[in-house]
Structure 1
Amino acid sequence: MSLPPNFLDELRGRLSLSQVVGRKVTWDMRKSNQGKGDWWAPCPFHHEKTASFHVDDRKGFYYCFGCQAKGDVLGFVKESENVSFMEAVEILAREAGMQMPARDPQAQKKLDRQTLLAQVMEQAVQFYRLQLKTAGGGAARAYLARRGLSEAVLDRWEIGFAPDGWQGLWDNLRGKGVAEDLIMDAGLARPSSKGRNPYDIFRNRVMFPIRDARGRAIAFGGRAMDPDDNAKYLNSPETLLFDKGRNLFNLGPARAAAGRGQPLIVAEGYMDVIALAEAGFEASVAPLGTAVTEHQLQMLWRIAPEPVMSLDGDKAGIKAAMRVIDLALPLLAPGRSLRFAIMPDGKDPDDLLRSQGAEAVQKVLDGARPMVGLIWQRAIEGRIFDSPERKAALEHELKKVTGQIQDQSLRQHYDRELRGLTWKLFSEQRQQDRGRGKRDGTGWRPGGRPSGPVQSTRVSYLATADEAAQDHMREAVILATLIVTPQLIADFDDGLLSMPCRDAEHARLRDLLLRHDPETGDLAAAVGQEALENLMRLRHVAISPCLRKPGDTDLARMTVAGEIAKLSAARGLNAEIAEAIEEIEGFADEAVTWRLGEAAQLHHLATRSQQEDTAEYDVGENGAPINRDERSALDALLAQISFSKPGT
């Protein structure tokens, strides 16, 4: 049975060679470079202890420097599973979710047809290139010269010109004996509705050949020379050779350049790609007249884990970025994302290169933003969050966006990042509101009500500076406990976000915890040895039972949960007091008294280590947790001693 080459190309493209090989080997992670698709392992085809078996994921080939075994993903399955070529194809097709082509004689006919169409396309490339050099191509040559394209560049990219006639290409190909149906099926001509000969699809246009990954000419893109033409750019129709949603302009050379370590750049048009490549950014591609498709994203990720979307700095460019984000969200995975390089307003990469040079483009690429930054920008742009309802709506929208991410670990990281940005936004807004609420240093806000506690309440325990000191101590215990048990951080994201951390060092440590990646982040190094020692030397931290029993995660979890509850209860009571103070200027009724009582009761419950019926620890007079069983035994012993004293 013969298989169409596009089927095998798609099969190879859908599967990662390292993923298939990884089922048979153990990777040497010290020698491998996952980000570059460079993998090393002991060879599965001969016995060895060193990692001499190399997999190049980007090129799709493996090679053993010991036994010289080499091949692609099909060859690996064939050799490792001891099966025939067709059996290897069937195994991989099932894994990739592809249906095997029907076993019938038509498959060979289709293959032969594609070969003939590719030959016709090559003849069309040569015809258009010759036309650019004739007198009729003078205007096109002048236009390309104004765009900064030299004759050498024109030859390198095989740029041509379609003359302004109805049947220039048709007559040329027919004169060479090319069958009419081949010209039509190649997407080069259309039948006339007036009973005349078919006419050329491309007329009076600068022509850009589009080649597939194998280097075959499969389509054209044409740029209109007439400024009044309805279609500035026109692509070939879809044919047996060309599927515009499954190909990219400059795919083959870009893949090779990315394999040499260049960043993969996705521009918007042919001229941008040509300008970028000629300026040294050779791993540049562009979609073919449509928005980026899911299949194109998968192609990009097979070349590089984090392609850079280079978009024009106008509203259309931003909208295009958002469309790509919405398409990419369900497809994201660890090591598979996008970054966005937004060009200065009103410019595309070609404009920026001609006006400011490659250094300016490199600067924009270096500042490429991650997806989460644009998601946040879209969520808050042009909106005001001055009410609980609007704030809740923002949080709901962000949760809905991240809910599209299928990978659970990655979704959690997105949630954490966006919660941090939300907390920062609302925190800055609260500070601004406080600033606008004060007229001067008198402490009075508009309306004549005091912004701080009145004289009669300053002696209150919760209104004194001791409250801030207690908050500081509790924050220190929380931070220290989570630093020594980082596996619990994800369980307390919301609690960390709610900690105001007036102390700058506490705020720094809180932000480090929120950003910590348990798989790759070195938390101790980020905290710093000196900062860690200073934190652990604090007396209230040093006597914390969970820090005296490192490794007891249950005790650590209980400690953090308890301290966060105390902080939350204290903030709630302070908020009720502050509101009650304002209302005292007007009138106080039973509602105010009841609310204060309820808040005080919650505060009282939270400051106990645990509720009586489930407690394992009580709070001693010095504020330290005491094991309840030990305390009971101590009380019994003291009672026995007291009873045994003479005269009792």
Structure 2
Amino acid sequence: MSLPPGFLDELRNRVTISSVVGRKVVWDMRKSNQAKGDYWAPCPFHQEKTASFHVDDRKGFYYCFGCHAKGNAFTFLQETENMSFMEAVETLAREAGLPMPERDPRAAEKADRLSELAKVTEAAVRFFRMQLNTGAAAGAREYLRGRGLAQSALDRFEIGYAPDARQALWDALTGAGIAGDLIIEAGLCAKPDDGGAPYDRMRGRIIFPIRDGRGRCIGFGGRALSANARAKYLNSPETPLFDKGRALYNLGPARSACGKGQPLIVAEGYMDVIALSEAGFEAAVAPLGTAITEDQLRLMWRVSPEPIIALDGDTAGLRAGFRLIDLALPLLGPEQSLRFCLLPEKMDPDDILRQGGPAAMTKLIEGAVPLVQLLWQRETEGKVFDSPERRTALDNRLRDALAKITDPGLRGHYTDEIKRLRFEFLRPAEATGRKQSLAWGRRATPAKPLSSTRGTRLASAPDDAIAEAMRVELILAILLCHSALVPEFEVELERLNCRDPALARICAAFVTGDTPPPADADALLALPHIAIAPPVRQADAQFARLCLRDEFAKYFARGGLDAELREVVEDMDTLADESVTFRLARATAARNESERSRLNDSTDLGEDRAALSGELQRLIESQIWIKPKK
């Protein structure tokens, strides 16, 4: 069975040779460099202890320096699994999810046709290059000089010029004996619908030849010189040779430069790539005038595990980066990701190099941010999150985005990083430049209680359980209003006993780092005793921190001392000695001490100063309320 020429290339793009060989060998990680696709292992074809078997992921070949075995992914399966060539192809195709092509007896004929088309495009390259030196190309040469391109750059990238004539290329190629149907099929000329003579597709443009990874010219890009042109940049149409969604400009040289340790930089256009390469950043590629496709992204990862996307510093550049996030998320893995180099506003790589030179570009590349940071920027930039509903909507969007990541471990790390960014972003600003008095003094002459006061929960049912519940409500309400303090009190939150389901949901959300349910939060903050509480109404984080320390201390002191008192009372029936009396007196005194607030109204109160008395604080920290019974 003959296979279409492009099928094997597509299969090699989808399946790395290291993933095939890795099933049979154990990599020597001290010698291997995964970032460069360079792997070493003991040879599977002969007995040895040293790692002399080399696999090059970028080139797609293996070689043993001991037994001299060599080949690609197909030959490796043939040698190790005793497969035929077609069986190896079918095995890899199944793994890659690529359907095998139908049997085509004309496959060889098609391959010959592609070779003929490649010869036509090479002839066009020579024609365009010669035209750049003619008098008609004076404007093109002036433009290129203005962009700072020397003759060496023009030769290196084979830049040419398409004359502003209807049939200049057609006449040149047909005059050289090339068949007209080949010229049209190669996308160089078009035949009008009215049946007239074919005309050149590229006219009055600077020409950039586009080559595939094997160096074949598969198409052209043209930059218009006239301001009245319908399109500033024009690519060759889709042809049997050229599929712009599966090709990258400057792919071959960039792959070689990456093999020497340079980072892969993905710029927007031809001139950006040329400027980067001339400045020493030779591992630069560009999509061909459209948004990056999945095939182009996989092609980038074949060259480098972490390409750097250099976005133009404008709205369109950012939008392109944001769209790329959604494309990349389902494809991410531990060894293939993206970083984003955010350029200054209204500047591209060429502008950066002109103004600051290679050093300025190097600094921007080294400061490239990971994909997760651009995802966060996309969901938060220019938005206000001043209500529970807006914050919940943000959480839902981020949750949906992270759900696209298929690798469980990677998804977990992304979730952790998003939680960290969310905490930093939504943390309320602490008051600075002023200190508040924390006076909770008593009135000299108590006022007569109002009827509304006598109807409160505490007054109507002065039970210890109600007091405890109200204290829990106050603690959670303070943390709702001062979410930045949550990490300081995580241990205490885990020990809270929330009998009310709504309070339990709020507490659980704080412990797990999620957003408390908006309905529960609003209901809690609407309670009368919460609405008037100073630490809830005021924005001073230091004041709120001291109040929380005090309330937690009272909560745990009361719970522990109540348990001790109950135990002492039970022991009185069996042990009537002085130790029981001592324990009862000490427990009662400690409980009374815990009911008194120790907040100081001094302006010199520091964060590390205990809010309770020394004796009670020592009991709380050690959680030893009374000496154990002997």
Structure 2 length-normalised TM: 0.74
1:16 CA drift (Å): 1.2
Match of 2:440 among 436, 440, 454: 454
Amino acid at match of 1:454: W
Amino acid at match of 2:239: T
Residues 188-233 of structure 1, C-alpha deviation per residue, up to 9 Å, x if partnerless? 1111234320111000000000001110000000000111112000
SS at match of 2:344: strand
Instruction: Determine if the alignment matches structure 1 residue 216 to structure 2 residue 203.
Output: no
Q: 1:164 and 1:425, CA in 2 relative to 1: closer, same or farther beyond 3 A? A: same
Which aligned pairs between 1:512-591 and structure 2 lie closer than 5 A? 562-563=494-495, 579-581=531-533
Which aligned pairs between 1:20-31 and structure 2 lie closer than 5 A? 20-31=20-31
In the other structure, the counterpart of 1:46 is 46
In the other structure, the counterpart of 1:66 is 66
Instruction: Determine if the alignment matches structure 1 residue 270 to structure 2 residue 270.
Output: yes
Instruction: Determine if the alignment matches structure 1 residue 367 to structure 2 residue 367.
Output: yes
Residues 72-104 of structure 1, C-alpha deviation per residue, up to 9 Å, x if partnerless? 111211111122222222221222222223223
- How far apart are the structure 2 equivalents of 1:80 and 1:606? 73
In the other structure, the counterpart of 1:501 is 488
Residues 337-365 of structure 1, C-alpha deviation per residue, up to 9 Å, x if partnerless? 11111111111111111222111111110
1:169 CA drift (Å): 0.5
Which aligned pairs between 1:607-646 and structure 2 lie closer than 5 A? none
SS at match of 1:340: strand
Q: 1:605 and 1:40, CA in 2 relative to 1: closer, same or farther beyond 3 A? A: farther
1:261 CA drift (Å): 0.8
- How far apart are the structure 1 equivalents of 2:559 and 2:58? 58
- How far apart are the structure 2 equivalents of 1:78 and 1:108? 23
Q: 1:385 and 1:141, CA in 2 relative to 1: closer, same or farther beyond 3 A? A: same
Residues 10-49 of structure 1, C-alpha deviation per residue, up to 9 Å, x if partnerless? 1111101111111111122222222222212111100112
In the other structure, the counterpart of 1:315 is 315
- How far apart are the structure 2 equivalents of 1:279 and 1:422? 39
1:411 CA drift (Å): 1.3
Which aligned pairs between 1:73-88 and structure 2 lie closer than 5 A? 73-88=73-88
Q: 1:425 and 1:69, CA in 2 relative to 1: closer, same or farther beyond 3 A? A: same
- How far apart are the structure 2 equivalents of 1:603 and 1:327? 51
My pick for the range that moved more, 80-89 or 159-168, is 80-89
Q: 1:104 and 1:398, CA in 2 relative to 1: closer, same or farther beyond 3 A? A: closer
1:403 CA drift (Å): 1.6
1:625 CA drift (Å): 7.4
Amino acid at match of 2:40: W
- How far apart are the structure 2 equivalents of 1:73 and 1:104? 24
1:134 CA drift (Å): 1.0
Contact 1:121 1:219 survives alignment (8 Å): yes
SS at match of 1:263: coil
In the other structure, the counterpart of 1:356 is 356
Contact 1:163 1:205 survives alignment (8 Å): yes
Amino acid at match of 1:334: P
SS at match of 1:11: helix
1:606 CA drift (Å): 11
SS at match of 2:297: helix
Larger radius of gyration: 2
Which aligned pairs between 1:121-160 and structure 2 lie closer than 5 A? 121-160=121-160
Contact 2:530 2:536 survives alignment (8 Å): no
Residues 347-406 of structure 1, C-alpha deviation per residue, up to 9 Å, x if partnerless? 111111122211111111011111111111122212222222222222222212212212
SS at match of 2:319: helix
Structure 1 length-normalised TM: 0.72
Instruction: Determine if the alignment matches structure 1 residue 195 to structure 2 residue 182.
Output: no
1:283 CA drift (Å): 0.6
Residues 521-576 of structure 1, C-alpha deviation per residue, up to 9 Å, x if partnerless? xxxxxxxxxxxxxxxxxxxxxxxxxxxxxxxxxxxxxx89844779959999x998
Q: 1:583 and 1:40, CA in 2 relative to 1: closer, same or farther beyond 3 A? A: closer
The sequence identity of aligned pairs, in percent, is 54
In the other structure, the counterpart of 1:227 is 227
Q: 1:182 and 1:393, CA in 2 relative to 1: closer, same or farther beyond 3 A? A: same
- How far apart are the structure 2 equivalents of 1:584 and 1:456? 20
Which aligned pairs between 1:322-401 and structure 2 lie closer than 5 A? 322-401=322-401
- How far apart are the structure 2 equivalents of 1:81 and 1:94? 16
Amino acid at match of 1:248: L
- How far apart are the structure 2 equivalents of 1:299 and 1:584? 55
Amino acid at match of 1:183: I
Q: 1:151 and 1:441, CA in 2 relative to 1: closer, same or farther beyond 3 A? A: closer
Q: 1:34 and 1:442, CA in 2 relative to 1: closer, same or farther beyond 3 A? A: closer
Amino acid at match of 2:223: R
What 5-or-longer segments of structure 2 have no aligned partner? 444-470, 476-482, 499-505, 512-520, 538-550, 564-582, 588-618
SS at match of 2:287: coil
Q: 1:442 and 1:423, CA in 2 relative to 1: closer, same or farther beyond 3 A? A: closer
Q: 1:607 and 1:289, CA in 2 relative to 1: closer, same or farther beyond 3 A? A: farther
Q: 1:299 and 1:203, CA in 2 relative to 1: closer, same or farther beyond 3 A? A: same
In the other structure, the counterpart of 1:113 is 113
State the superposition RMSD in angstroms: 3.5
Q: 1:584 and 1:16, CA in 2 relative to 1: closer, same or farther beyond 3 A? A: closer
Residues 223-277 of structure 1, C-alpha deviation per residue, up to 9 Å, x if partnerless? 0011111200000000000111001001111111111111000000001001101
- How far apart are the structure 2 equivalents of 1:291 and 1:246? 12
Residues 494-526 of structure 1, C-alpha deviation per residue, up to 9 Å, x if partnerless? xx9873439xxxxxxx9xxxxxxxxxxxxxxxx
Contact 2:131 2:161 survives alignment (8 Å): yes
Contact 2:188 2:200 survives alignment (8 Å): yes
Contact 1:453 1:581 survives alignment (8 Å): no
Contact 1:342 1:368 survives alignment (8 Å): yes
Q: 1:342 and 1:151, CA in 2 relative to 1: closer, same or farther beyond 3 A? A: same
Contact 1:454 1:581 survives alignment (8 Å): no
Q: 1:388 and 1:103, CA in 2 relative to 1: closer, same or farther beyond 3 A? A: closer
My pick for the range that moved more, 416-425 or 117-126, is 416-425
- How far apart are the structure 1 equivalents of 2:59 and 2:22? 16
Contact 2:311 2:342 survives alignment (8 Å): yes
Q: 1:35 and 1:375, CA in 2 relative to 1: closer, same or farther beyond 3 A? A: same
Contact 1:453 1:578 survives alignment (8 Å): no
Contact 1:565 1:606 survives alignment (8 Å): no
SS at match of 2:343: strand
- How far apart are the structure 2 equivalents of 1:331 and 1:606? 54
- How far apart are the structure 2 equivalents of 1:607 and 1:348? 65
SS at match of 1:58: coil
- How far apart are the structure 2 equivalents of 1:254 and 1:301? 12
1:306 CA drift (Å): 0.6
- How far apart are the structure 2 equivalents of 1:368 and 1:324? 15
In the other structure, the counterpart of 1:255 is 255
SS at match of 1:207: strand
- How far apart are the structure 2 equivalents of 1:337 and 1:329? 9
Amino acid at match of 1:340: F
Residues 108-131 of structure 1, C-alpha deviation per residue, up to 9 Å, x if partnerless? 111111011000000001111111
Q: 1:331 and 1:608, CA in 2 relative to 1: closer, same or farther beyond 3 A? A: farther
1:133 CA drift (Å): 0.8
1:301 CA drift (Å): 1.0
SS at match of 1:317: helix
In the other structure, the counterpart of 1:33 is 33
- How far apart are the structure 2 equivalents of 1:606 and 1:252? 74
- How far apart are the structure 1 equivalents of 2:8 and 2:412? 37
SS at match of 1:223: strand
Q: 1:564 and 1:235, CA in 2 relative to 1: closer, same or farther beyond 3 A? A: farther
